[in-house]
Amino acid sequence: MADQQQYDYDVLVIGAGPGGYVAAIRAAQLGLKTACAESRETLGGTCLNVGCIPSKALLHASELFEEATGGHLAKFGVDIQGATLNLDQMHAEKAKAVKELTGGIEFLFKKNKVTWLKGRAAFQNDHSVQVGDQTVTARDIVIATGSSVTPLTGVEIDQKVVVDSTGALALPKVPEHLVVIGGGVIGLELGSVWRRLGAKVTVVEYVDQILPGFDGEVRREAGKLFKKQGMEFLLSTKVTGVTVDGDRATVSVEPAAGGEATTLDADAVLVAIGRKPNIDGLNLDAAGVKLTDRGQVAIDHDFATNVDGIWAIGDVAPGLMLAHKAEDEGIAVAENIAGQTGIVNHDIIPSVVYTTPEIAGVGLSEEAAKEKVGEIKVGKFPFAANSRAKTNRDTDGFVKVIADAKTDRVLGAWIISSLAGTMIAQVAQAMEFGATSEDIAYTCHAHPTHSEAIKEAAMGVTGKPIHV
């Protein structure tokens, strides 16, 4: 906490995304007079407005459409004749979910007496910030301004033919051919939505596998599954430019290592090569806040910047760009400001790709575990041998548990399954409690559930699964 002095607020949070709104609510709960500045019309940040929530709404809706039209329901004797797509209704239901959730944050702000300052914030000095046309002072200031789409040189986003994730969440019609630039989480999720609704989808990825940062075996298996679903991949390929003519685009590509250039004809192009921290216009220099060499706000273990009383969390700070990471940091930073000890264990942040099947991981990949720990043991269990998955005709994927060979402590787990996003929480909690693979293997799991595959994979670490 900075020195005692008269300020308008104890805490000013800049940005009302999952990091900022959670920090503001926790600060207020801890008895601090709190304001949150947000330049968007609604609260909730990228995640609620143009990220996690609308993408999951479309993923769910498009999955229902594919189940109805792709023969999945018919296989179970549920014969739906003549199912058609009403895309406007799909978008309307998505908008309803977004409105309810962003409105929910407004309600929580009122309930917790957090003042919402509407407008763009810029530092005037280390305790003073201009928000719209007013100036407010605060003893502690939390930078939670999030991130925005990384532009691709030579590719102009017009949100009509060439879109970023925000545009891809609102396409007014199903494209014939969608070219997705970037085989990361966002590209694969949004590519899946439009493929399920009828588009041909080609994913162009610079490196030789999709899903950078994930376990190698998981990346390979995920690639196979997406191909089986009809997605096309151009790996080790770079996009050198996109030209738009009317409602069509020509995407120029060539091998990443150099070689012969070719073109792809498309009526929609999604640029999804990553996200960059939002620092433009914040006037960080006026406060003296330092950045990392990657342009993020530099922080220490407690989320404190180099300037006393200024903190940073979420996508604008180093670490995984994920909503739950931002939220946990929001709680921790507020507790630190209040003089408590707020901690986030950045080694145990689950990552989920919400495709079908879902892909989830927590902790180290097999490659990273070998590099970091050396001797490891791996247990794997396929869903083809899990009774519930078999019953549901849902056998794609596996669970993989990675443990330290000497201590048996679980170092990481990876799951490809329709329920992977929900299942990974169990392993995250076990790892947080310092579990060994044996601890998981000897925990009774309900039958018949997909979660039994986690138990069996853990049993596999010591070589004793039952059902394979």
**37 belongs to the binding site for ligand FAD (CB under 6 A):** yes
CA-to-CA separations, 440 to 191, 284, 452, in angstroms, rounded: 35, 47, 10
Q: How many residues bind ligand FAD (CB under 6 A)?
A: 36
Helix (H) or strand (E) holding 380: strand 376-382
CA-to-CA separations, 247 to 76, 160, 190, 194, 250, in angstroms, rounded: 40, 8, 20, 17, 10
**27 belongs to the binding site for ligand FAD (CB under 6 A):** no
The phi and psi torsions of 137 (rounded to 5 degrees) equal: -115, 150
Q: Is 33 annotated as a binding residue?
A: no
Binding mask 98-137 for ligand FAD (x = CB under 6 A): ----------------------xx----------------
**323 belongs to the binding site for ligand FAD (CB under 6 A):** yes
Binding mask 277-316 for ligand FAD (x = CB under 6 A): -x--xx-------------------------------xx-
Which listed residue (15, 223, 363, 397) binds ligand FAD by CB under 6 A? 15
The phi and psi torsions of 95 (rounded to 5 degrees) equal: -65, -35
Q: How many CA atoms lie within 13 A of 30 on its CB side?
A: 23
User: For residues 66 and 158, what is the distance between their CA atoms, to the nearest angstrom?
Assistant: 29
Which listed residue (18, 191, 357, 465) binds ligand FAD by CB under 6 A? 18
Q: Is 56 annotated as a binding residue?
A: yes
Q: Is 186 annotated as a binding residue?
A: yes
**361 belongs to the binding site for ligand FAD (CB under 6 A):** no
71-74, long-range: CB within 8 Å, 24+ apart, which pairs?
none
Q: Is 323 annotated as a binding residue?
A: yes
Q: Is 281 annotated as a binding residue?
A: no
Shortest Cβ 450–ligand FAD spacing (Å):
20
**321 belongs to the binding site for ligand FAD (CB under 6 A):** yes
Q: Is 431 annotated as a binding residue?
A: no
**Which residues lie closer than 8 Å to 27 by C-beta, 6 or more apart?**
10, 11, 13, 34, 114, 334, 337, 338
Shortest Cβ 461–ligand FAD spacing (Å):
28
Angle CA(253)–CA(258)–CA(263) in degrees, nearest 5? 15
**Structural Rg of the chain based on CA atoms:** 24
Which listed residue (16, 101, 362, 410) binds ligand FAD by CB under 6 A? 16
Active-site hit among 346, 447, 450, 467: 447
Exposure string over 138-164, b if 16+ CB within 10 A, otherwise e: bbbbbbbbbbbbeebeebebeeebbbb
Specify whether 91 is catalytic: no
Q: Which residues make up the interface to ligand FAD (CB under 6 A)?
A: 14-20, 37-40, 45-47, 51-52, 55, 120-121, 144-147, 165, 186, 278, 281-282, 314-315, 321-324, 326, 354
Q: Which residues are catalytic?
A: 447
- Residues within the annotated binding site for NAD(+)? 182-189, 205, 274
